[in-house]
Amino acid sequence: MAKIIDEASALSLVGTRSQGVRVRLRIDADTPAAYIDKVQIQQVLFNLMRNAIEAMADSTRREVEIFAARSDGDMVEVRVADTGPGLSAQVRARLFQPFVTTKPDGLGVGLSICRSIIESHGGQLSAEDNREGGTVFRFTLPASAPISETVDPDQGTCRGSAHNDADRAQPFTGPS
């Protein structure tokens, strides 16, 4: 997951230093590989990171933390936490429904799409209060078997995965 988080953050965090945003990336060394559609998971990460930055626009403390580690069972957990104002109970109740937004110019489809992507990978996406103020978005993805056990090279397909596009679905491991 380290590489995909790095790539997504390179694009989504452009210009944040000049906005006074402090970013922490924490990826546990034992984070297992996850068999994913790289482009789709990068889109989820990009959306969650941009939302976090935008949520902190009026905050005096602007910190984003991206964390990845092994979770319960055979899952990978990724968290994107911000120190913005947090979510009201009213917004939280409808957060992942289409056309729900807290942004003046937002369409309200980003989180709905993110949830669909994560669920199509066999995971879950949720939001909770950040103990330090703000919000934590958390998603899980099933950890995968090593690539030799997952991809049938003769067929170009993936066993035990919802993805059969061998060009786009790629395994990622922890830090290099």
Domain locations along the chain: 2-145
Q: Is this prediction's pTM over 0.75?
A: yes
Q: How far apart are CA 166 and CA 37, in angstroms?
A: 9
User: What is the rounded average pLDDT of the residues 149-166?
Assistant: 40
Would you say residue 167 has pLDDT above 70? no
Q: What is the CATH number of domain 2-145?
A: 3.30.565.10
Percent of the chain at pLDDT above 90? 50
